[in-house]
Structure 1
């Protein structure tokens, strides 16, 4: 598409049309030899008034649409519609009305006449020539022809591509139709309306663009990488579970419209399956003194990792770098699971759950501080907040983790204080997980403490 100069008014549209014609003329001339006798004929055919008169005749071969029949069935013949989204009634459900002023129209018909549509999509100051002509814009009309009467005829021809070509609405035997119950008596045929669904091509194009950005955009790539590595991230991660891709048009994608070509024939189908009930993967520390003994060991990945660590250590590996790396890899996996458990409980339960719900009253104080940090923001929890900010409790959590892991590994392994200190250090020095979690919460609670100070 040619870039229109941002002058606006008659001069802007006139310049945009001239630039468009010059670009297409040059493409034709580049294919001809300098002495080709057809050059003068080609140049004459691209004169402003001549080309627009020809385009006004050829516009009958195409139709601008926002709702198309062809994608329903490629051989269906019937009514297509061009309805500007802003004219549709607002609904709570997602529909074409949500596109408002910013939408992309589609075009169907003879591919040889698509250059006419490209002309009408030229923009000046963000407004297409077609939109301006539909609004009877005086500057757009003046840019078509010096004679107002001729300009009006050209305008009527060009905007006709937004009108249905058939005489009145029509459907086809290959088009889908359905009876929609609108009354109260299901046995009375008069209480049904026959609907002929059309493909909302402008809406589908907007959805495709949004899904493409959400799946492959740089921002989502960074968020996906952070999620994969279980790192903190300020952005939003977008995911579309069970997304299906419908390929439309086969080898002749243009048969279904110009936007179908732009999408490579791909149409995204969002999952509309009913939700399947799944038991929560996060158990609650009901009547527990610690999350380690029941909640943590219940996680499948924790059980697998503990088993792998026990088997590895019982094999009496050599004291070398490879052994240290393998041991740290397994410990890192356990720490990641521990950080995930804390985040899940903090997100699932309301702040103050460790005090407000008597089922959790037996939980060790250090684990209350660790797993219910936003309790410190409650007005009547000044002591809890002060204890949290003193930061003595993480070492206690680390010691409880170390004692738990020693207990899990005991048997053939002679484990004691030295190993416990190693496990504790591994948790407390985990920069990307445990420490990052603490830093984020510390910043928030520091701000809260500052705001409530007199």
Structure 2
């Protein structure tokens, strides 16, 4: 039978799940047959694997699979606002806000989304059912049809009207939480309505809105159009679209190593969410370009890092006589990462001196060549920009940072050699790459 629209999406989804399950079985069978020289044993192996494949064929036949999925639908809930972002152990309800899109002047909310992507919470083992309900075709989703009591997307899979009604009833359980509840681990706000009464509010994380924001920021950084705009800007050419950037974002993680336990959209983002900066401007004295030969030796940088260096050195001395463990290496890495972030923050401040662009070309500037290229990115000199585009300087900066840190950590009980230097370089280089995109966006 030829399926169309949502029916085709449903059939394709089930077929793909079958393929994913069958592929490793087929490969194992092929490998076992190649390694077995005896004909009789080969027949037995083939029979064994064919039985497994037939079982998968039955499991992923449309009617049995949809019937089982409808039974499991009650284990998950489609939502726009989820509770577990507040606390991973919270077991209360989420909310599905399916109202028509509208814009409240001055506010950004879920209702501002023209294309709403619902999230799914509940038993992570049943998230495949959520993905089924989230399938879309021709501007509508399976969940929307179910909410309208429209079972037509499933009609091509069975001629039994009773079966269709059972599917509809089962899948609808994922759209409505009959027993709404909060939880002791949820946020609660007492909102007064008069002197003696109040409403108890339990704010929920706007998962659908957060996912849309994450996607918008991602497109502005990694989308094809964004890349074309940056390339045109770098080449000094005109582009008819605006360059959009979101500086000063932070990353918040949810769910640790199991982001799917929070929600399905959280899992799609790898457990990460971008936070927009709402911090007020920081007052600072007048910043000037570094005047010495090495920014790492400058009094300003060492003033910012002396305490961090001391903490790292004290920690390393405290574990110097212990066998290296994963916990020790991770803690050491956190200390080093804090130092790297301090250096990159200081460097970003110097790079922001756009009104002094070209300061590194002044005869009085004694900075190391790589540091000039790094810290004066707006230098208009063609030769300077040519050297910067060669991207040899990040490696030099990483080596300089590693050498500086090794010298700072010198102690009679500790020896730092090439291995440690390479470890510091790796941490610095990775962090520098992460900062580099934001730096180019703000340029």
1:198 aligned residue:
204
RMSD of aligned alpha carbons: 3.8
TM-score (normalised: structure 1): 0.54
2:126 aligned residue:
113
Q: 1:249 aligns with which of 246, 255, 261?
A: 255
1:7 aligned residue:
4
How far apart are residue 130 of structure 1 and its match? Answer: 2.0
Secondary structure, aligned partner of 2:174: helix
- 1:233-272 correspondence to structure 2 within 5 Å: 233-272=239-278
How far apart are residue 75 of structure 1 and its match? Answer: 0.6
Secondary structure, aligned partner of 1:162: coil
Residue pair 1:81, 1:162 contacting (<8 A) in 2 also: no
1:393-420: CA deviations, max 9, x gaps?
xxxxxxxxxxxxxxxxxxxxxxxxxxxx
2:150 aligned residue:
137
Distance in 2 between residues matched to 1:21 and 1:306, nearest whole Å: 63
Distance in 2 between residues matched to 1:262 and 1:243, nearest whole Å: 19
How far apart are residue 50 of structure 1 and its match? Answer: 1.9
When the two structures are aligned, how many residues end up with a matched partner? 286
Q: 2:226 aligns with which of 220, 230, 245?
A: 220
User: In structure 2, do the counterparts of structure 1 residues 213 and 40 end up closer, same or farther at CA, with 3 Å as the change threshold?
Assistant: closer
How far apart are residue 114 of structure 1 and its match? Answer: 2.0
1:211 aligned residue:
217
1:367 aligned residue:
none
Secondary structure, aligned partner of 1:272: coil
Q: 1:50 aligns with which of 53, 64, 70?
A: 64
2:190 aligned residue:
179
Distance in 1 between residues matched to 2:141 and 2:173, nearest whole Å: 16
1:139-182: CA deviations, max 9, x gaps?
225235322233122112112101126x2x3211111112235x
Residue pair 2:357, 2:379 contacting (<8 A) in 1 also: no
2:421 aligned residue:
none
Distance in 1 between residues matched to 2:236 and 2:137, nearest whole Å: 47
- Is there any run of 5+ residues in structure 2 with no aligned partner, and where? 30-45, 286-353, 367-377, 383-443
- Is there any run of 5+ residues in structure 1 with no aligned partner, and where? 280-298, 312-328, 334-454
Residue pair 2:359, 2:379 contacting (<8 A) in 1 also: no
Residue pair 1:69, 1:78 contacting (<8 A) in 2 also: yes
1:61 aligned residue:
75
Residue pair 1:86, 1:99 contacting (<8 A) in 2 also: no
Q: 1:301 aligns with which of 333, 347, 356?
A: 356
Distance in 1 between residues matched to 2:365 and 2:54, nearest whole Å: 88
Q: 1:20 aligns with which of 10, 13, 34?
A: 13
Moved more, 210-219 or 197-206: 210-219
How far apart are residue 211 of structure 1 and its match? Answer: 0.3
TM-score (normalised: structure 2): 0.55
How far apart are residue 91 of structure 1 and its match? Answer: 5.3
How far apart are residue 43 of structure 1 and its match? Answer: 2.6
State the structure with more CA Rg. Answer: 1
- 1:146-165 correspondence to structure 2 within 5 Å: 146-164=159-177
Secondary structure, aligned partner of 2:251: strand
- 1:333-372 correspondence to structure 2 within 5 Å: none
